[in-house]
Amino acid sequence: MKNEKTIKIKKNKIEQKVPRPQSGIVRKIYAALKKKLKYFRKLLEFIRKVNSWLIGIIFYISTLLLVLKSLNLLHNFEDNLFKITGIALCIFIFLFIILFYLSRYNSSVITQPRKFLIFCLINLGTLLLAHGILNIDISRYSIPATLTGMILASFIGGREALSCVIILGGLIGFISNFSIDIVFTFIIMGGLASLSMPFIHKRLDLFKIGFASGIMGAVFITSWGILQGWDTKIILTQSSFGMGSALVSAFLALEILPFIENLFGKLNYVKLLELSQLNHPLLVKLKEKAAGTYQSCLMVGNLAEAAAEQIGANSLLAKVGAYYHDIGKIKNPPYFVENLTINAKSKHEKVNPALSRLILVSHVKEGVQLAAKYKLPKEIKDIIRQHHGTTLTSFFYQEALKKDTASEIEEESFRYPGPTPQSKEAAIVMLADTVEAASRTLEDPSPARIRNMVENLAKEKLTDRQLDESQLNFKDLHLIQKSFVQTLTGSFHSRIKYPNNGQTAETHENKNGTNHPIEKKEKD
C-alpha cells in the first residue's frame, strides 16, 4: 500500500513537471507552436546549407561576368541579350555538370562551405589568370594549366581534378574567343598534371610532372603549329612557352601549396611529402624508443599505400597516416608486443585487466596529443584517432570477466573510444594495421593462408560495423584485400618476426597488449 502511494505521488510530480494543454484552444496553440518550431529548425538547417549555395551563385555570376567581359558583351547589354542568355545557359550547364560529378564522387567539396570556397577560388583564379595572360603581350600558351591541375588534384583528388580541368578548359574557350588550341593545350597539360599528382612520392616528382606536362603541351603546340602552317621559329617559341609555363607551375606549386594549406588549414601533397621522410623528428623518436612499433608502422605504410592506390584513394595520405598511427606508443613501449625482445615477459601479467585496457587504449590519445605538439595536419590526427575505431580489447575484457565474476562488466567499457574511420584512408590504415599484426604470427605463410587471413579480418571489421562511416564500398574492400595479399606475399621473405607468446585464436589482442588477432596454433 505504501509503495502504491509513493508511485502515485511520483507520477503526479512527473505530470506536474510536464505541462499538458488542457482545453481545446490551448492544445491547438501548443500543436501550432510545435509545428512552427519544426519549421524554425528546418529554416536554421537551410541557412547552414545556404552557405555553399551562396558561394556557388557568386562563383557563377563572377564567371559569367568574366566571360562576358572577355567577349566584349557587357557594353551593349540589350543588343546582345540573346547571346548573353546563351552564354549564361552554357556556363550554367558547365558548372552543373562539375558540381553533379563532385556531388557523386567527392561530395564533401560541396557540402563543406569552406572547402567549396577554396574550390571556387582556385577555379576563378585560373580564369582570371587566363584572362590576364590573353590580354597582355605574352604567348597564349603561358596559361599555367599544370599549376591548376596540381593544386586541384591536391585538394579534391586526381580524377575529380581532371573533370574540373575539362570544364575549366571549356570556360577558357569562351574567354579566349573560342580558340580551340588554347582549350586543348589547357586540358592536355592540366589533365596530365591532375592524374599524376596522386602518384607523387617526393618533392622532385612535382618537377617530373611539370616536365611531362610541358613535353605533352609542347608536342601538341608543335603539331597545331604544323597544321596551321606556322614558321619553325614561331613553333619553337610557342612550344617553349608551353614548356616554360609547366616548369614554372611546378616551382609555384611547391611554394603555393604550403601557403594555401596554412591559409585554409588544408592538407596538401608537399606537407605530406615532408612528413613521409623517415628523418622527421617524430619518426626518429619512435625508432629510438619503440623500434618494433617503428618497423610495424613502415610495413603498415607499405600495405596502406598500395591498397589506397588500387581504389583511387589518397595513397600518400594513407602511407603517412600509417607511419604515424601508433606514435602514441612512444610513452609506454614495453606494454606493446612488437617492442618486446624474445623471451621477455609481458608487462601486462602483473597488471589488472582494466588498467591494461587503459594503457592500451591510451596510445590513441597520446598519439593525438603528440601529433598536435608536432603540428601534424588534421587528416593525420584523424587517422591516429580512428585507427582502432570502437573495437573491443577483447583479451582484457575476457580476463576481466574471468577475474570478476560477481559484478557485471560492460563490454562497452573495454572498447576503444573511437570514432570509427571517417575516411577511406583511415579505414585502409585500420585494416592494414590489423592485417600486418596478424601476419607476424603466420607460420609458413602460403598465398592461400594469407588470403584466408586477410578475408577473415576484413569480414570481422565489417561485421563489427567499424567500416560503416568510412565511405568504402564492397568493391573497394575487395580491391583492398587483394592488394594486401599481394603486398604481404611479396614481402614475407624479408619480414621481421616479432615474438608471439601464442595466445588465443579469435581474441583481438594478446596479453602483451596488441589489439590484433592472433592465429590459432594448430594442435598436433
Binding site for Fe ion (CB under 5 A): 326, 433
Q: Which lies closer to Fe ion via its Cβ, residue 306 or residue 383?
A: 383
At 416, the amino acid letter reads Y
Q: Which lies closer to Fe ion via its Cβ, residue 81 or residue 358?
A: 358
| Minimum CB–partner distance for residue 477 and Fe ion (Å) | 20
H or E element that contains 60: helix 24-70
Q: How far is CA 426 from the centre of its chain?
A: 8
| Minimum CB–partner distance for residue 444 and Fe ion (Å) | 24
| Minimum CB–partner distance for residue 363 and Fe ion (Å) | 6
Instruction: Report in angstroms the alpha-carbon separations of 476 from 319, 431, 500.
Output: 17, 12, 31
Bridge partners of 415? 392
What CA dihedral angle connects 367, 368, 369 and 374, to 10 degrees?
90
| Minimum CB–partner distance for residue 299 and Fe ion (Å) | 10
| Minimum CB–partner distance for residue 369 and Fe ion (Å) | 14
Residue 522 exposure: Cα atoms within 13 Å on the Cβ side: 4
Q: Which lies closer to Fe ion via its Cβ, residue 153 or residue 297?
A: 297
Q: Which residue has the cell 574567354?
A: 175
Q: Which lies closer to Fe ion via its Cβ, residue 326 or residue 399?
A: 326
| Minimum CB–partner distance for residue 338 and Fe ion (Å) | 8
Q: Which lies closer to Fe ion via its Cβ, residue 149 or residue 367?
A: 367
What is the spatial distance between Cα 369 and Cα 389, in angstroms, rounded to a whole number?
A: 17
Q: Which lies closer to Fe ion via its Cβ, residue 63 or residue 514?
A: 514
Those residues whose C-beta lies under 8 Å from the C-beta of residue 23, and which sit 6 or more positions away, are none
H or E element that contains 273: helix 269-276
Q: Which lies closer to Fe ion via its Cβ, residue 95 or residue 430?
A: 430
| C-beta separation of 436 from 300 below 8 A | yes
| Minimum CB–partner distance for residue 252 and Fe ion (Å) | 38
Is 124 exposed, middle or buried, given 0-12, 13-18 or 19+ CB atoms closer than 10 A? middle
Q: Which lies closer to Fe ion via its Cβ, residue 160 or residue 433?
A: 433
| Minimum CB–partner distance for residue 195 and Fe ion (Å) | 32
What is the spatial distance between Cα 39 and Cα 229, in angstroms, rounded to a whole number?
A: 67
Pick from 200, 324, 319: nearest CA to 269:
200
| Minimum CB–partner distance for residue 367 and Fe ion (Å) | 8
Sign of CA dihedral 362, 368, 369, 374: positive
Q: Which lies closer to Fe ion via its Cβ, residue 425 or residue 433?
A: 433
DSSP-derived secondary structure for 156-207:
H-HHHHHHHHHHHHHHHHHHTTS-HHHHHHHHHHHHHHHHHGGG--SHHHHH
| C-beta separation of 110 from 99 below 8 A | yes
